[in-house]
Every structure is written in C-alpha cells, then in structure tokens.
Chains A and B, each alone.
Chain A
Amino acid sequence: MSDWEPVIGLEIHAQLLTKSKIFSAASTRFGAEPNTNACLVDLGYPGVLPVLNREAVRLAVRFGLAIGAEIAPRSVFARKNYFYPDLPKGYQISQYERPVVKGGKLTIRLDDETEKTVNLTRAHLEEDAGKSLHENFPDATGIDLNRAGVPLLEIVSEPELRSAAEAVAYMKAIHTLVRYIGICDGNMQEGSLRCDANVSIHKPGEPFGTRAELKNLNSFRFVEQAIEYEIERQAEVLESGGTVVQETRLYDPDHHETHSMRAKEEANDYRYFPDPDLLPLEIAPDFVEEVRATLPELPDAKRERFQSGYGLSAYDAAVLTAERELADYYEAVVAALGGEAKLAANWVMGELAAALNREGLVITASRLEARALAGLIRRIVDGTISGKIAKDVFEAMWQGEGDADEVIGKRGLKQISDPDALAKIVDEVIAANPAQLEQYRAGKEKLLGYFVGQVMKATKGKANPAEVNRLLKQKLGG
C-alpha cells in the first residue's frame, strides 16, 4: 500500500475584504439577520444588472502580485449554470477561460524544515452562493441569501502536493499570505477561507488516477484528516480490484470519513458561457503598479530578514512571522530594547504567547504593549532581576500591577548582585551545611547545585545566579 503516490490540488476560496458585494451595493457584514444583506441583484430579480466592485478587483490584483503571477490585462466573467436553491439566478458569476490572475507560485515549509515551491494555476473572481440551512426545518431546507454575491477569490493550485502534510502546509501559507496583504480575514470558522481538495493516487511514473473532490474542509486539521482518509480509501478500492469514481465527497469530522455527495458526471456540465451582462474586465498597467506600490513586506522576505537581521533560527523566524501583527509586535520590542533580538524572541514566543493562548487573545489584544515587555527584558539584561524572577514580574504586569520597574520596586524583587552581601549569605549557607561541604570537598561536585539552591532559598530567589555560582565555587574549594 505504501507505493501509492497521492496527487493533491487545492481550490481555496478566500472571501475578499470589501464592504459591499462583488456585483451589488449590499453589505457583506457577517452575522446579519438572515436575508437582510440580500438586495435585488443578489436575489436575481429580473431586470437588474451586476456592476463590478473596484475594491474586489484591487484585492485580486494584490494577491496576484504577491505570488508573482501574471495579471491578465483582460479577463472575462462567465456564467456557471447549475440548479440549487441557494443560487437564485440559476448561475454563479465566475471566471472560466480567462481568469484575472494566471500562474504564480508559493514556497511552503514542512515540519522537517524542507521547502517546496508550489505552482498555482490561477486565481479568479467570483460571487459566493447563499447558505442552505438543513437543521431546524422538518422536511424542508431554509435558505439565507446574505452570502449570495459576497466576493470570493478562488485560488487554484497545480496538482503538485504529494501528501496531506504538504496540503496543510500550502493552505497555511495561503492563510498567512492573504492576511499579510490584507485581502481576507482568514477566519475559517466564519467561512472566510474555505478549501476543497482534489485527491487521487497513482504509482509513480504512471498517469494520474481518477480524482475525488473533497468539499468544505473548514480547518487545517480537517484538511489533513480528510485527505489522509481519502488516500487510504482510494488505495483500498484500487487494491481490491475496484475503480475510483470521479465524484464529490463530503468530509464528516465526527466519524473521520468521507461520504459521496452526488455523482458528478451529468450535473457537472456547467455550460459556462461569457456573461452578457458584464463587459470584459480590463486592468491597466497603471492600476497594477499602483497596487504593487502598496504591497507590504511579504512573509518569505520577512522571515529571511528575521533570520539574517536578528540572527534567529529558521523555526523562530517562521513562528514570529506567521502573522504580520505578531512580527510587528516583536520588532517593536527589539526596537525599544535596541537589540537583544534572541532574548526578545524567547519572551514573545514563550511567556507572552502562553499568556495570550491561556486567555484566547490575539496579539493585537495583548494586555502588555511591546514597550512594556521591552521594559521587563531590559531589567534582565542589566542584571536587576533574574530570568526566573522575571516570569513572576511578567505575570504581575499581565495582571495590571504596573510596569516592570513598579512591580520590581513594589514587591522588592530586585536581584542581589552585590558581591559583599552575597558573600555573607554564601558563608552562612556553607556554615549551616558542614556535612555537604565535606562531601563536596571529597569530590562530590554535583552538590554545587544543592548549595545554589540553599542560597536562592535564603534570598527568595533574588540572588544573581552567576554571582552565586562564582562565589560558591570559590569558597567551597576552600
């Protein structure tokens, strides 16, 4: 079974961050009362005409530029015809033969730190359909058309992914990118970023197998689980002499399996044709350059700069640049400190991340501003407190007890670094432990740790550890 090679391509739908819909002036706000965001254009009333939203075009171009794709100077909207109650017009306005974004590529990173470049086929603009509500309606389906007409960018990869892990890494890279460039909020629970996966398996060197399309994988975990399940299912089908059917399958996370949704052969003829209500979309080079000028530093470039500029490990740089806001926070800490990039990285990824996680906060909602965290780290660097005490100070700051200096002063946490004061305590500790002293001098040198512990206990953790070590070694040696 291990010699099957999976072939995976992803279609990711990113909801573009516009205020109004792609072809109408109705609101796109999430969470509105059912059908209050659906205007006559979205409802497909006779006599209405779609008018394209400039911002949706700008955001699509932004994505194209970020992946180094070609921005089509001329693209065409087409009708994709099918019947479903959440599609009032009987067709979805999409792009077919001439998408707005062609090609492009994205580098993904796997857990083992290897990199892979994934080519994209295209990205095109389209409108979303409405939502079918299957629960709460006995023998009926409820239809909410608020989402109908919401602008989507469908991002299509080449079938170049070879494992579920690669598919997840690719989706994460898209998730990071769309938020970096501010075209999509990436909120998968609200459906702002959705993923379909085309999965087939074959023996290396042989033609690709028949693929199944897995629908609506709305978390990274589901993407991975659904693809893994599907690979195994297809291998079992083929090895027992069967054939894989081209079909759409829905992932059921509760039972960790996929179900056939509907056979595609017939209904799959979408009879695409150019939408006569919409003229071709022409994008002038000036417009493209205007958009290019507003692109922020992209994740790859930022990660490389974090490694070379701050001397961070590949892992640290990847974690800190996963979100633009986190990267900004980190850079603000380093700027306030005027250096100490590694120590700052440890604190942002350690204590701060833990505190944020614990309370389910995003970095922009952090209770500690970058400057405040820098203030704390500065006191470690200048020897006022030890790293261990700093954790208590951090906690107090997090609870709103003031800035680092206030907490240190109020709680009397200032580190004891004065050699004379420490020497006195060290002498007392040695005098109180004659048996241990004898063993140490007889060669049991790991007892040094015991003495350090005793000094720390006597000073309530405030003794400067480096100084304590130095003094103990000197005095214990006799």
Chain B
Amino acid sequence: MFDAAEVKRLAHLARIAVDDTTAANLGGELDTIMKMVDELKAAEVEGVEPMAHPLALSQRLRADAVTEAPERDLYQQNAPDTVAGVYRVPRVIDRS
C-alpha cells in the first residue's frame, strides 16, 4: 500500500515535485499498477531467457573515429548559466 509518505519519498528520489493532494491520489493509482505487476510476476518464466530488448537484433558497432566538431558555444546557448566555458550549477555538497 502506498501511503502519502511513501509517495512523497518516491517523488523525492525521482526529483518530481508532488503536492499533498496529488500524493494522496497517486497512492491509489500506484496500488493499481502494482496489482498488475503482481499479476505479471505470477507468470511462469522458468527457463525463459530474460528479454533485454523487444527487437531480436544485436547492437551495431561504430568505427572509432572522431567526427564531432567542438560546438560548445552553440550547445551552451540552452544552458541557464555558464562561465568561461563551464556550466555553472548550484553548489554541490559532497561531504557531510
């Protein structure tokens, strides 16, 4: 059962802003989804290879060649804040 606190915790992990009203409603919806997951879990999969991809194809490989030109100025036009070619973000605290 997903109570509001559990929904809030998941929202925090996914960095999604969820207000209290939405959190209360989402709990029920998630329960429904988990019921379906439980049904899936009941399927007999003994000896079945796990499927990594729906297509029965394998990965194409690329030759090791540099074909991308440096386009920093162009790409950084979308960034909210840059300085001297570096993206500037709020301070990341690593240590406790």
Q: Which A residues fall within an 8 A CB radius of B? A: 18-20, 24-27, 32-40, 43, 45, 51-57, 74, 76, 83-85, 97-98, 132-134, 137, 139-145, 250, 259-263, 266-267, 269, 274, 276, 278-282
Are B76 and A27 in contact, CB atoms less than 8 angstroms apart? no
A197 to B7, CA, bound (A): 34
CB neighbours of A45 from chain B (8 A): 75
Answer whether residue B96 sits at the interface, using C-beta atoms and an 8 A cutoff.
Answer: yes
Other-chain residue from A26, A76, A84, A261 in contact with B66 (beta carbon distance below 8 A): A26
Are B96 and A274 in contact, CB atoms less than 8 angstroms apart? no
Q: List 5 A-B contacts (CB under 8 A).
A: A38-B72, A39-B68, A142-B88, A262-B96, A282-B58
Are A280 and B58 in contact, CB atoms less than 8 angstroms apart? yes
Are A281 and B58 in contact, CB atoms less than 8 angstroms apart? yes
Are B59 and A36 in contact, CB atoms less than 8 angstroms apart? no
Distance to closest chain B CB from A151 (angstroms): 9
Q: A20-B65, A25-B67, A98-B52 are in contact. Are A280 and B59 (CB under 8 A)?
A: yes
Q: A85-B92, A142-B83 are in contact. Are A54 and B59 (CB under 8 A)?
A: no
Interface readout for B76-96 with A: 1 if CB under 8 Å, 0 if not? 100000011111111110111
CB neighbours of B52 from chain A (8 A): 76, 98, 274, 279-280
Answer whether residue B55 sits at the interface, using C-beta atoms and an 8 A cutoff.
Answer: yes
Q: A266-B13, A280-B59, A282-B58 are in contact. Are A20 and B88 (CB under 8 A)?
A: no
Are B89 and A140 in contact, CB atoms less than 8 angstroms apart? yes
Distance to closest chain B CB from A246 (angstroms): 14
A37 to B58, CA, bound (A): 28
Are B85 and A52 in contact, CB atoms less than 8 angstroms apart? no
Distance to closest chain B CB from A361 (angstroms): 30
Other-chain residue from B50, B70, B89 in contact with A37 (beta carbon distance below 8 A): B70
Distance to closest chain B CB from A49 (angstroms): 11
The interface residues of chain B, by DSSP majority, are classed as loop
Are B68 and A26 in contact, CB atoms less than 8 angstroms apart? yes
Distance to closest chain B CB from A270 (angstroms): 11
Are A25 and B66 in contact, CB atoms less than 8 angstroms apart? yes
Q: Which B residues fall within an 8 A CB radius of A? A: 9, 13, 15, 50, 52-53, 55, 57-68, 70-72, 75-76, 83-92, 94-96
Are A25 and B62 in contact, CB atoms less than 8 angstroms apart? yes
Q: A57-B61, A144-B86 are in contact. Are A35 and B53 (CB under 8 A)?
A: no
CB neighbours of B61 from chain A (8 A): 51-54, 57
Residue of A nearest to B49 (CB): A74
Are A35 and B59 in contact, CB atoms less than 8 angstroms apart? no
Are A141 and B90 in contact, CB atoms less than 8 angstroms apart? yes
CB neighbours of A142 from chain B (8 A): 83, 86-89
CB neighbours of B64 from chain A (8 A): 18-20, 53-56
Residue of A nearest to B70 (CB): A36
CB neighbours of A274 from chain B (8 A): 52-53
Residue of A nearest to B51 (CB): A274
Distance to closest chain A CB from B90 (angstroms): 7
Q: A25-B65, A261-B94, A262-B94 are in contact. Are A279 and B89 (CB under 8 A)?
A: no
Other-chain residue from B13, B15, B87 in contact with A145 (beta carbon distance below 8 A): B87
Are B91 and A52 in contact, CB atoms less than 8 angstroms apart? no
Taking A57-B61, A259-B96 as known contacts, 13 extra A-B pairs with beta carbons closer than 8 A to each other, sorted by chain A number, are A19-B64, A20-B67, A38-B75, A133-B86, A134-B91, A141-B92, A143-B88, A250-B94, A262-B94, A262-B96, A266-B9, A280-B58, A282-B58
Residue of A nearest to B57 (CB): A279
Q: Of residues A55, A145, A266, A279, which shows the largest number of chain B Cβ atoms within 10 Å of its Cβ?
A: A279
A335 to B80, CA, bound (A): 63
Distance to closest chain B CB from A34 (angstroms): 4
Residue of B nearest to A273 (CB): B52
CB neighbours of B86 from chain A (8 A): 34-35, 133, 137, 142-144
CB neighbours of A27 from chain B (8 A): 66, 68
Are A19 and B88 in contact, CB atoms less than 8 angstroms apart? no
CB neighbours of A141 from chain B (8 A): 88-92
Q: A262-B94, A269-B13 are in contact. Are A52 and B59 (CB under 8 A)?
A: yes
CB neighbours of B68 from chain A (8 A): 20, 24-27, 39
Are B15 and A83 in contact, CB atoms less than 8 angstroms apart? yes
Distance to closest chain B CB from A468 (angstroms): 63
CB neighbours of A36 from chain B (8 A): 70, 72, 85
Residue of A nearest to B53 (CB): A279
